[in-house]
Amino acid sequence: MTVFKTFWKILNKNKITVIIYTVILLIFGASNMQTSENNMSFVASKPDVLIVNYDEEKGITKDLIRYITENSNIIDIEKDEEKINDALFYRDVNYVIYIPEGYNTDFMNGENPELEIKSTGDYQASFEEMILSRYIKLANIYQKNIKDEDDLISKINDTLSKETEVKITSKLDTNTLSKATYYYNFASYSILACLLLIVSLILSSFNEERIRKRIVVSNTNYKKHNRVLLLSNCCYSLVLWLFYVAISFILVGDIMFSKTRSNIYYKFSCFNNLCNNNSIFHWKFSNK
């Protein structure tokens, strides 16, 4: 019990440190909880794309370029392979699309023309893959039944102009949950700082030469001494954690008693069964 009591006496002398970190937590945590806003809106970002067109800019080729331009940031880079590779390496461009010569004619003749692709492989490149595959798959479906190019382009654009409806319904108070998140983001740093600093100070106190000599000459077994010291550290850690949890109940409130499980429902409409998460063309796009 002597070691246990000594541990808490040393802790009591350093209680100012715990108070300072707690005050810092309350100031920054409370200010962030007040200013945080829950944003459930979705804003799509546009990938940086380079189009290398070796075909005549007419018909389906022209419309494909127009569609990509409207849904992407077109990057102007010299059509040199070394510079293109450098742009991909330095993330100046996410996606490079090579349109081969005669693509328009071959596509209308159903000869399965291919688009060569280079990408960075990141999320922006994956997003551009979905944009491109949406157009290619839709064009392939219509091309099998429509031979007039102007009519084909009109049908494609009419279908692409339709928007998908997405509804998100959550039974969880996301605003309050966001406040709890901000609190525990700061609390983790405060808890860690208090644990490391206080435990280090206490252990260093027990390691002082004068104290260490007293422990050696005493009848206390060193194994028992270490076990009690470990138990004291565990008790302090538990008390500190409970203290910060108690503060969270005061600041955040009822969200701490609620379930974190939420129900989110998505309602969307797809055209011609083309909304398929697995239908991503990775390297080549064809009308197969």
Domain count, the chain: 2
Q: Let me know if residue 223 belongs to a domain.
A: yes
d(CA 42, CA 21): 37
Residue at which a domain ends, from 137, 165, 193: 165
Are both 133 and 220 inside the same structural domain?
no
The CATH number for 141's domain is 3.40.1710.10
Q: Which domain holds residue 207?
A: 2-38+169-257
Are both 226 and 150 inside the same structural domain?
no
Q: Which residue type sits at 71?
A: N
Least confident of 55-59, 127-131, 162-166, 236-240: 162-166
Q: Does residue 25 or residue 257 have the better pLDDT?
A: 25
Task: Give Cβ neighbours of residue 152 (< 8 Å, ≥ 6 apart).
Answer: 60, 108, 139, 142, 143, 146
* Overall average pLDDT of the 5-32 stretch: 77
Residue at which a domain ends, from 149, 165, 181: 165
Are both 150 and 69 inside the same structural domain?
yes
d(CA 143, CA 146): 5
Q: Let me know if residue 43 belongs to a domain.
A: no
pLDDT at 250: 78
Q: Let me know if residue 268 belongs to a domain.
A: no
Least confident of 16-30, 139-153, 167-181: 167-181
Task: Give Cβ neighbours of residue 244 (< 8 Å, ≥ 6 apart).
Answer: 22, 25, 187, 190, 191
Are both 135 and 148 inside the same structural domain?
yes
Q: Let me know if residue 194 belongs to a domain.
A: yes
30-77, pLDDT tens digit by residue? Answer: 666 565 544 445 556 789 999 999 999 999 999 999 999 999 999 988
The pTM of this model reads 0.51
Beta bridge partners of 133: none
Beta bridge partners of 97: 51, 117
What are phi and psi for residue 246, nearest 5 degrees? -60, -40
Residue at which a domain ends, from 127, 143, 165: 165
Are both 88 and 197 inside the same structural domain?
no
Q: Are the C-beta atoms of residues 160 and 71 closer than 8 Å to each other? A: no
Q: Are the C-beta atoms of residues 36 and 251 closer than 8 Å to each other? A: no
Classified as helix, coil or strand, 4 is: helix
77-112, pLDDT tens digit by residue? Answer: 888 899 999 999 999 999 999 999 999 999 998 887
Are both 174 and 246 inside the same structural domain?
yes
Q: Let me know if residue 27 belongs to a domain.
A: yes
pLDDT at 220: 67
253-285, pLDDT tens digit by residue? Answer: 666 666 554 444 434 334 333 444 333 333 344
Q: Can you spell out the DSSP letters for 141-205?
A: HHHTT---HHHHHHHHHHHHTPPPP-----SS-HHHHHHHHHHHHHHHHHHHHHHHHHHHHHHHH
Residue 63 CB neighbours (<10 A): 21
